[in-house]
Amino acid sequence: MAPNDEESRKALATLIATATTLLEQLQSTLTTIQRNPLTPTTPSSSSSPETTSINALSLARDTSLLIRAHSTKISLLIINEPFTPSAISTVIRELIKGPIPGLATAAQACPHDLYTSVVRKALAYRCQQVLLELWGLL
């Protein structure tokens, strides 16, 4: 049982390192949006039909709620006995698959001509704060 537990702890450490790298990269993208909210993050983001069909504010709300729920789950798994690295790994994988990239996508899918540059900048800042706090938890 000890080698299996050690393997799952190593796998968790690797997964956390991967997740923090992803969070740092997405925070860098959000910083770019904050510094210059008028420039599109993709070559044709303002004319893309997929971008205009996405409600960026709803996406940000939904993904932040998912991140909050998963963060609560991680916190509970950490403080309750017995410590189960495999359960924490599952929750982190779920975060990496959907809510984390979705939150950054919300800021990128918020074109300044539709939502104004002030809203885009504020959304990028708040998304970055959520990712920063999640980074602190991991």
Q: d(Cα 111, Cα 130) in Å, to the nearest integer? A: 20
pLDDT tens, residue by residue, 78-90:
999 888 999 999 9
pLDDT tens, residue by residue, 8-26:
999 999 999 999 999 999 9
H or E stretch at 98: none
Q: d(Cα 134, Cα 23) in Å, to the nearest integer? A: 8
Q: d(Cα 112, Cα 40) in Å, to the nearest integer? A: 8
Give 2-41+55-137's CATH code, choosing from 3.60.15, 1.10.10, 2.60.40, 1.20.120. Answer: 1.20.120
**Are 37 and 120 spatial neighbours (Cβ–Cβ below 8 Å)?**
yes
pLDDT given at position 55: 93
pLDDT tens, residue by residue, 74-126:
999 999 988 899 999 999 999 999 999 999 999 999 988 889 999 999 999 99
pLDDT given at position 1: 44
